[in-house]
Amino acid sequence: MEILKVYALKAKQWVLDRAQERTTLDGVVLVVAGVSYLLLKPIAVLVAYLAIGYGAWTIYTEEK
pTM of the full structure: 0.57
Alpha helices, H only, the chain: 2-19, 22-60
Question: Half-sphere exposure of 38 toward its Cβ, with a 13 Å CA cutoff?
Answer: 6
Name residue 38's amino acid.
L
What does the pLDDT look like over 8-64, one tens digit per residue? 999 989 888 887 878 888 888 999 999 999 999 999 999 999 999 999 999 999 887
Tell me how crowded residue 60 is: count the other CB atoms within 10 A of its CB: 7
Question: Going by C-beta distance under 8 Å and a sequence separation of 6 or more, which residues neighbour residue 24?
Answer: 18
